[in-house]
Amino acid sequence: MKHSREYLVNGGIPDALKYPKLDILKTLYNDVLYRDIAARYGIENVRSLQELAFYLVSNPASEISYNKLKTNLKLGSANTVKKYISYLEDAWLFFTINKYAYSVKEQQIAAKKVFSVDTGMLNSVGFSFSKNIGNLMENLVFLHLRRQYQDVYYYKTKQNHEVDFFVPSQQLAIQVSQDLSDEETMLRELRSLVELSEEKKEQHRFQIVTLADKETITTEGTIVDVMPLYEWLLSVRQYSEI
Protein backbone atom coordinates (compact mmCIF):
# COMPACT_ATOMS: atom_id res chain seq x y z
CA MET A 1 0.00 0.00 0.00
CA LYS A 2 2.93 2.33 0.71
CA HIS A 3 4.18 2.03 -2.88
CA SER A 4 0.65 2.53 -4.23
CA ARG A 5 0.40 5.82 -2.34
CA GLU A 6 3.81 6.90 -3.59
CA TYR A 7 2.78 6.16 -7.16
CA LEU A 8 -0.44 8.12 -6.71
CA VAL A 9 1.26 11.16 -5.20
CA ASN A 10 4.41 11.24 -7.35
CA GLY A 11 3.05 10.03 -10.68
CA GLY A 12 5.02 8.21 -13.34
CA ILE A 13 6.96 10.81 -15.36
CA PRO A 14 10.58 9.54 -15.22
CA ASP A 15 12.49 12.85 -15.00
CA ALA A 16 10.27 14.10 -12.19
CA LEU A 17 10.97 10.93 -10.21
CA LYS A 18 14.69 11.03 -11.00
CA TYR A 19 15.12 14.67 -9.93
CA PRO A 20 12.53 15.19 -7.15
CA LYS A 21 14.10 18.46 -5.96
CA LEU A 22 13.44 20.12 -9.31
CA ASP A 23 9.86 21.22 -9.99
CA ILE A 24 9.87 19.44 -13.33
CA LEU A 25 6.14 18.74 -13.42
CA LYS A 26 5.14 22.36 -12.91
CA THR A 27 7.70 23.46 -15.50
CA LEU A 28 6.39 20.91 -17.98
CA TYR A 29 2.81 22.01 -17.32
CA ASN A 30 3.65 25.68 -17.90
CA ASP A 31 5.71 24.96 -21.03
CA VAL A 32 2.84 23.05 -22.61
CA LEU A 33 0.28 25.66 -21.58
CA TYR A 34 2.13 28.74 -22.78
CA ARG A 35 4.41 27.54 -25.58
CA ASP A 36 2.57 24.55 -27.06
CA ILE A 37 -0.94 25.99 -26.75
CA ALA A 38 -1.08 29.76 -26.21
CA ALA A 39 1.75 30.59 -28.63
CA ARG A 40 0.79 27.99 -31.21
CA TYR A 41 -2.87 29.00 -31.42
CA GLY A 42 -2.31 32.73 -30.94
CA ILE A 43 -4.40 32.95 -27.78
CA GLU A 44 -4.35 36.54 -26.58
CA ASN A 45 -6.35 36.05 -23.41
CA VAL A 46 -3.85 33.66 -21.83
CA ARG A 47 -5.34 34.25 -18.39
CA SER A 48 -8.59 32.55 -19.45
CA LEU A 49 -6.69 29.50 -20.68
CA GLN A 50 -4.66 29.47 -17.48
CA GLU A 51 -7.76 29.64 -15.26
CA LEU A 52 -9.50 26.87 -17.19
CA ALA A 53 -6.46 24.59 -17.02
CA PHE A 54 -6.03 25.28 -13.30
CA TYR A 55 -9.68 24.42 -12.69
CA LEU A 56 -9.30 21.13 -14.55
CA VAL A 57 -6.06 20.16 -12.83
CA SER A 58 -7.69 20.90 -9.47
CA ASN A 59 -10.83 18.88 -10.25
CA PRO A 60 -9.83 15.62 -11.94
CA ALA A 61 -12.25 12.70 -12.25
CA SER A 62 -15.13 15.18 -12.11
CA GLU A 63 -17.91 15.91 -14.58
CA ILE A 64 -17.57 19.07 -16.62
CA SER A 65 -20.08 21.07 -18.61
CA TYR A 66 -18.96 23.59 -21.21
CA ASN A 67 -21.80 25.93 -20.29
CA LYS A 68 -21.10 25.77 -16.55
CA LEU A 69 -17.40 26.35 -17.08
CA LYS A 70 -18.21 29.31 -19.32
CA THR A 71 -20.35 30.85 -16.59
CA ASN A 72 -18.17 30.03 -13.58
CA LEU A 73 -14.91 31.11 -15.21
CA LYS A 74 -16.41 33.93 -17.30
CA LEU A 75 -14.88 32.56 -20.50
CA GLY A 76 -17.19 34.21 -23.00
CA SER A 77 -18.85 31.27 -24.71
CA ALA A 78 -19.25 27.51 -24.45
CA ASN A 79 -17.51 27.21 -27.82
CA THR A 80 -14.44 28.94 -26.40
CA VAL A 81 -14.38 26.44 -23.51
CA LYS A 82 -14.79 23.53 -25.91
CA LYS A 83 -12.00 24.85 -28.13
CA TYR A 84 -9.60 25.39 -25.22
CA ILE A 85 -10.27 21.92 -23.84
CA SER A 86 -9.59 20.41 -27.26
CA TYR A 87 -6.24 22.24 -27.28
CA LEU A 88 -5.44 20.85 -23.83
CA GLU A 89 -6.32 17.34 -25.00
CA ASP A 90 -4.28 17.66 -28.19
CA ALA A 91 -1.31 18.73 -26.05
CA TRP A 92 -1.82 15.65 -23.83
CA LEU A 93 -2.30 17.60 -20.61
CA PHE A 94 -5.83 16.30 -20.11
CA PHE A 95 -8.21 13.66 -21.41
CA THR A 96 -12.00 13.55 -21.39
CA ILE A 97 -14.41 10.64 -21.62
CA ASN A 98 -18.09 10.53 -22.57
CA LYS A 99 -21.06 9.11 -20.78
CA TYR A 100 -21.97 5.74 -22.27
CA ALA A 101 -25.04 5.98 -24.49
CA TYR A 102 -26.28 4.26 -27.63
CA SER A 103 -26.89 7.65 -29.21
CA VAL A 104 -23.82 9.60 -30.35
CA LYS A 105 -25.85 12.80 -29.93
CA GLU A 106 -26.57 11.94 -26.30
CA GLN A 107 -22.88 11.28 -25.72
CA GLN A 108 -21.99 14.67 -27.14
CA ILE A 109 -24.61 16.55 -25.14
CA ALA A 110 -23.95 14.86 -21.79
CA ALA A 111 -21.31 16.12 -19.37
CA LYS A 112 -17.83 14.72 -19.82
CA LYS A 113 -15.36 13.55 -17.18
CA VAL A 114 -11.87 15.01 -17.19
CA PHE A 115 -8.55 13.42 -16.20
CA SER A 116 -4.94 14.57 -16.01
CA VAL A 117 -2.04 12.98 -17.89
CA ASP A 118 -0.22 12.32 -14.60
CA THR A 119 -1.25 12.13 -10.94
CA GLY A 120 2.05 13.70 -9.89
CA MET A 121 1.15 16.75 -11.96
CA LEU A 122 -2.13 17.02 -10.09
CA ASN A 123 -0.21 17.29 -6.83
CA SER A 124 2.40 19.65 -8.24
CA VAL A 125 0.02 22.09 -9.94
CA GLY A 126 -3.49 21.52 -8.59
CA PHE A 127 -5.02 23.19 -5.55
CA SER A 128 -4.35 21.24 -2.31
CA PHE A 129 -4.93 17.96 -4.03
CA SER A 130 -2.76 15.30 -2.41
CA LYS A 131 -5.28 14.73 0.38
CA ASN A 132 -7.93 13.50 -2.05
CA ILE A 133 -6.59 10.01 -2.59
CA GLY A 134 -9.90 8.78 -4.06
CA ASN A 135 -9.72 11.17 -7.02
CA LEU A 136 -6.04 10.40 -7.57
CA MET A 137 -6.93 6.71 -7.65
CA GLU A 138 -9.71 7.26 -10.17
CA ASN A 139 -7.38 9.31 -12.37
CA LEU A 140 -4.73 6.57 -12.23
CA VAL A 141 -7.25 3.84 -13.03
CA PHE A 142 -8.37 5.84 -16.06
CA LEU A 143 -4.81 6.23 -17.35
CA HIS A 144 -4.24 2.49 -17.21
CA LEU A 145 -7.59 1.72 -18.84
CA ARG A 146 -6.81 4.21 -21.61
CA ARG A 147 -3.52 2.47 -22.38
CA GLN A 148 -5.36 -0.80 -22.97
CA TYR A 149 -8.78 0.05 -24.40
CA GLN A 150 -10.24 2.63 -26.78
CA ASP A 151 -13.83 2.46 -25.54
CA VAL A 152 -13.66 3.85 -21.99
CA TYR A 153 -16.79 5.61 -20.73
CA TYR A 154 -18.52 6.46 -17.49
CA TYR A 155 -22.05 5.15 -16.98
CA LYS A 156 -25.17 6.68 -15.51
CA THR A 157 -27.95 4.30 -14.50
CA LYS A 158 -31.61 5.07 -15.06
CA GLN A 159 -31.73 6.14 -11.40
CA ASN A 160 -28.87 8.58 -12.20
CA HIS A 161 -26.27 6.70 -10.16
CA GLU A 162 -22.77 6.72 -11.57
CA VAL A 163 -20.40 3.88 -12.42
CA ASP A 164 -16.92 5.39 -12.67
CA PHE A 165 -15.82 3.38 -15.72
CA PHE A 166 -17.56 1.19 -18.28
CA VAL A 167 -15.64 -0.62 -21.04
CA PRO A 168 -18.20 -2.23 -23.38
CA SER A 169 -15.67 -4.22 -25.43
CA GLN A 170 -14.50 -5.97 -22.26
CA GLN A 171 -17.94 -6.09 -20.57
CA LEU A 172 -16.19 -4.46 -17.65
CA ALA A 173 -17.60 -2.05 -15.05
CA ILE A 174 -15.41 -0.46 -12.38
CA GLN A 175 -15.97 1.63 -9.31
CA VAL A 176 -13.05 3.34 -7.55
CA SER A 177 -13.12 4.00 -3.81
CA GLN A 178 -10.32 4.64 -1.34
CA ASP A 179 -11.76 2.06 1.05
CA LEU A 180 -15.03 0.34 1.85
CA SER A 181 -14.84 0.52 5.66
CA ASP A 182 -17.85 2.82 5.72
CA GLU A 183 -21.00 0.78 5.11
CA GLU A 184 -22.77 3.66 3.37
CA THR A 185 -19.88 3.98 0.91
CA MET A 186 -19.91 0.26 0.19
CA LEU A 187 -23.65 0.21 -0.40
CA ARG A 188 -23.43 3.22 -2.72
CA GLU A 189 -20.68 1.64 -4.85
CA LEU A 190 -22.50 -1.70 -5.03
CA ARG A 191 -25.84 -0.07 -5.83
CA SER A 192 -24.56 1.48 -9.06
CA LEU A 193 -23.00 -1.80 -10.22
CA VAL A 194 -26.16 -3.77 -9.47
CA GLU A 195 -28.28 -1.25 -11.39
CA LEU A 196 -25.93 -1.47 -14.39
CA SER A 197 -26.12 -5.26 -14.21
CA GLU A 198 -29.90 -5.15 -14.26
CA GLU A 199 -29.98 -2.68 -17.16
CA LYS A 200 -27.40 -4.35 -19.39
CA LYS A 201 -28.52 -7.97 -18.82
CA GLU A 202 -25.37 -9.43 -20.43
CA GLN A 203 -22.68 -11.10 -18.36
CA HIS A 204 -20.19 -8.47 -17.16
CA ARG A 205 -17.18 -8.30 -14.87
CA PHE A 206 -17.79 -5.98 -11.94
CA GLN A 207 -14.92 -4.56 -9.93
CA ILE A 208 -14.31 -2.10 -7.12
CA VAL A 209 -10.73 -0.81 -6.94
CA THR A 210 -9.66 0.26 -3.45
CA LEU A 211 -6.37 1.15 -1.83
CA ALA A 212 -6.05 -2.09 0.14
CA ASP A 213 -9.32 -4.07 0.41
CA LYS A 214 -9.64 -7.48 -1.20
CA GLU A 215 -12.76 -9.65 -1.20
CA THR A 216 -15.54 -10.98 -3.42
CA ILE A 217 -19.05 -9.70 -2.74
CA THR A 218 -22.24 -11.21 -4.11
CA THR A 219 -25.28 -8.96 -3.92
CA GLU A 220 -28.63 -9.36 -5.69
CA GLY A 221 -27.10 -11.93 -8.04
CA THR A 222 -24.18 -9.65 -9.00
CA ILE A 223 -20.64 -10.83 -8.23
CA VAL A 224 -18.23 -7.99 -7.50
CA ASP A 225 -14.46 -8.39 -7.14
CA VAL A 226 -12.96 -5.91 -4.71
CA MET A 227 -9.27 -5.47 -5.52
CA PRO A 228 -6.39 -3.42 -4.08
CA LEU A 229 -4.99 -0.89 -6.51
CA TYR A 230 -1.61 -2.57 -6.99
CA GLU A 231 -3.24 -5.90 -7.84
CA TRP A 232 -5.69 -4.28 -10.23
CA LEU A 233 -2.92 -2.42 -12.06
CA LEU A 234 -1.12 -5.72 -12.65
CA SER A 235 -4.32 -7.45 -13.78
CA VAL A 236 -5.39 -4.92 -16.46
CA ARG A 237 -2.69 -5.95 -18.90
CA GLN A 238 -3.46 -9.61 -18.36
CA TYR A 239 -7.15 -9.12 -19.16
CA SER A 240 -6.35 -7.13 -22.29
CA GLU A 241 -4.28 -10.02 -23.63
CA ILE A 242 -7.02 -12.64 -23.21
Question: Is 80 exceeded by the pLDDT of residue 239?
Answer: no
Whether the pLDDT of residue 47 is over 60: the answer is yes
Rg of the chain taking only CA atoms, in angstroms: 18
SS3 content of the chain, % helix, strand, coil (to 5): 55, 20, 30
Which is it for strands 215-219 and 222-228: parallel, antiparallel or unpaired?
A: antiparallel
Phi then psi dihedrals of residue 209, to 5 deg: -95, 125
Domain boundaries of the chain, sorted by first residue: 1-123, 149-242
The DSSP bridge partners found for residue 171 are none
Across the range 213-223, mean pLDDT stands at 95
95-149 confidence digits (pLDDT tens): 999 999 988 888 888 999 999 999 999 989 987 655 688 999 999 999 999 999 9
Nearest Cα residue to 155 out of 143, 145, 165: 165
CATH T-level fold of 1-123: Arc Repressor Mutant, subunit A (1.10.10)
Q: What is the pTM of this model?
A: 0.93
Percent of the chain with pLDDT over 70: 95
- pLDDT score for 128: 62
Which of 122, 144, 142, 145 shows the shortest CA–CA distance to 133?
122
